[in-house]
Amino acid sequence: MYFLSPNYSQAKASIFVHRFPKILFLMKRFFSILAVISTSFAFAQTADEHNHNHLKCTFDEHYQDALQDEQVADEMRATELAIYEAAQNIKRENLLRKNNSSTVIYTVPVVVHVIYATQADNISVAQIEDGIRVLNEDYQRLNADTTQTRNQFKGVASDMQIEFKLAKKDPSGNCTDGITRTQSLQSLSGTESAKLVKWNQERYLNIWVTRHVGNTTPSDPGGYTLGYSFFPRTNKVSGDGVILRHDAMGTIGTAAGNDGRTLTHEVGHYLALHHPFAGSCNGVGGQNPVGLLGNNYANDYCDDTPPVDESNFGCNLSTNSCSNDNPNLVDQIENYMDYANCQNMFTEDQKARVHAVLTMSNLRSTLVSTSNHAFTGITNPPACTPEAIADVERKVICTNESVQFFDISEEGDPTSWSWSFPGGTPATSNAENPTVTYAQPGKYSVSLSVSNSAGSDNVTYTEFISVKNSANPFFTTTWTESFENGSIPLVMSVIDGGDGNKFQPYQNAGSHQDKSLILSEANNSEGELDELISPAINTANGVDLNLFFDFAFAARNNNNTDQLEVYVSRDCGENWIRRRFYNGSRLRTANNTTGLFVPNGPGQWSTESINFNAYIGPDPIIIKFVFENGGGNNFFIDNIRFGEGQDVSIPEFASADMALYPNPTEGRINLSLSDLMDRDLELEIIDLSGKTVYSQELHSEGPSLDMQLDLNLKAGAYLVNLRGENTSLQQKLLVQ
């Protein structure tokens, strides 16, 4: 099991340069998405190297759970003994070769099953390939950070001589790219129930990629789980393989900022490697069931990994948790099987164990056999017909602005492309990733046909890109829309998050008349992001500009996490600035209901206003509403007005917005700030007697800030104060 502490630094990020245009696009799109979902996934960026012994590795728990069955325990004991003895034989053979290891490369066929809840976690082929790249570099010691291995361990650092390849044939002999995709809310569980697709575990290393793993999320106290796997057994478990979070696969896309080594660690367990901290310092006790073969087989059964008292975090090179006098026996925090964030090596003894597993007929030898390589298509791979899929750098642009389209086809690799861009320049292209300009505003379709020696495929996307009129905006300082004509105007854009459910006209409920827009919860996937985007609005020479809008929403229960955010862009959607967000009780305008919510009168609508004087300028602005489904009910929006008029919104000098969640909390809270005028702020928490119990200086690089706070506070009520030169906010906090 691989855990991420909320204070675990993810500083390293290598860039995958294969298919560079696609990767550039994915990185751009990721940072655009990140601006939208940053309040949902808040990661602290400092490494805390202490007090992590409360983190339990579920790999060890699975291992110990298996031992509760006496028959299984006998099987595991026999397996461990067989692996140990085979590894010792391999080590002796290597000594006879004068320490020259065998030149054999073991190749493991891989299938990646993407089990996704929404398109946000339906990761790309490029991100999956990047994850396999990291895996291969680490197992062949081709990783760029091998120079960071300390001198005392360089002599035992090992090229594991293992290669991982995505399968090219599925179990039925059909063409495949080694990736399956299944949309299911089981992705939110990330447990054994999420393993909805399983290929023959004797022939493929199955890797499942999900939204969550286990019942932990980034907001959980004590850290959360990134992945887990099962130890090799004669009688394989049904879910034999590796499961990990989508944002832990590779280093790009949703995993940008990650080092990609969760998979390296979990595959190590899959190949019979234990944690270096197994058994603590003396090989008895600790987290693993050491002593399974007798206490003389202590810790992780590898002589060249010094004993470690408990898992390491951060990168403290002086850590010597077992007080070893020998400098070569300090904690080997570089080892991929620990948790530190400066991992860069396996050892020769670990290699011997892995090779033992890959050569034992009752464990994993079938995987690396020549016959299985032919069966899975990794030797003499067949040509597969590509499945045409296209994407675009941005779906909302302005007139005379260039935008790049990308072929992200799957199954087979195309060798030729034919694009059609009605209304664009050029109107057609044979390039793989063409750039197009649109001179006129509107909504345009795009078609792509791809082919290779195995066949061809084509796809057409209707209203794939929206073009706003920036040179001559339709609206100057004033724009209103109440949807009373029963449709969404062409000058507005609706972006579906991927589940086919998006903002639609609704005929029988409005905040002031009969009609509005609805985002129905009936077909909306949890975690889905749906967008409603305004036309371009000219603000030059405007005075007292304000946005007004009405919304209505009811939750199903108090645990729902739905959220509405309002953004503004000054550069035609290239960059977005969050102005306001609504969640929890601030979003709910009616009582919870398990039936389908429809507002029944003015009392179930909220009218909101936001001042836009800070965004008056020569370039037009675009406003975006983003709703994130958190399991609640129908959401309605109506009567959007922008223009000059009485400012009934929060004054600009005090417009900063603060959200604390969860609230009540058991000790950890997420802090989200919007519309900050100040960059330097002071956060203070006081109890009801007026005593300051927590304080922290904050610095924001922009108008928004998201972070986590670990609070060691007694149960009770507190006041959270945020102060700056132009900021004064206060909110109540309940600690359970």
DSSP string, 238-261: TT-SEEEEGGGSSSSGGGTT--ST
Give residues with Cβ within 8 angstroms of 636, minimum separation 6: 506, 509, 511, 516, 517, 518, 519, 551, 552, 553, 599, 605
Give the pLDDT mean for 580-605: 93
**Pairwise pLDDT comparison (77 vs 177), residue with the higher score:** 177
Domains present along the chain, CATH in parentheses: 2-376 (3.40.390.10), 392-467 (2.60.40.10), 475-649 (2.60.120.200), 655-735 (2.60.40.1930)
With a pLDDT cut of 70, the percent of the chain lying above it is 85
pLDDT value at position 292? 62
- Find, among 250, 245, 257, 263, the residue nearest to 127 by Cα: 250
Give pLDDT, residue 129: 97
Q: Is 666 strand, coil or helix? A: coil
Residue 549 has pLDDT above 50, yes or no: yes
Distance between CA 257 and CA 253 in Å, rounded?
A: 9
For residue range 361-374, list pLDDT tens digits in order: 999 999 999 999 99
**Per the structure block, which two tokens stand in for 95?**
């000594």
Alpha carbon distance 574, 620 (integer Å): 13
Whether 666 shows a pLDDT value over 90: the answer reads no
Residues 519-529: tens digit of each pLDDT: 998 666 778 89
Is it the case that residue 277 has pLDDT exceeding 90? Answer: no
Say which amino acid occupies 399: T
**What is residue 609's predicted lDDT score, i.e. its pLDDT?**
92
pLDDT tens for 63-122 read 767 777 888 888 888 898 899 999 999 998 888 776 555 678 999 999 999 999 888 899
Q: Is the pLDDT of residue 516 over 70?
A: yes
Q: Which residues are catalytic?
A: 266
Distances (CA, A) of 638 to 229, 454, 503: 49, 51, 11
pLDDT of res. 552: 97
Between 281 and 457, name the one with better pLDDT.
457
The pLDDT of residue 322 is 85
Helix 348-359 to helix 70-96 angle (10° resolution) is 120
What does the pLDDT read at residue 30? Answer: 40
- Residue predicted with more confidence, 298 or 555: 555
The single-letter code of the amino acid at 421 is F
Per the CB < 8 A criterion, the answer to whether 581 and 640 are in contact is no
Position 360 scores a pLDDT of 95
Per the CB < 8 A criterion, the answer to whether 638 and 516 are in contact is yes
Interval 689-722: pLDDT, tens: 778 888 888 888 877 788 888 788 888 888 888 8
User: Would you state the pLDDT for residue 60?
Assistant: 65
- Give residue-wise pLDDT tens across range 42-59: 222 222 322 332 234 467
Tens-digit pLDDT profile for residues 208-249? 999 988 765 554 545 568 899 999 998 888 999 999 999 999
Whether 530 has a pLDDT exceeding 70, the answer reads: yes
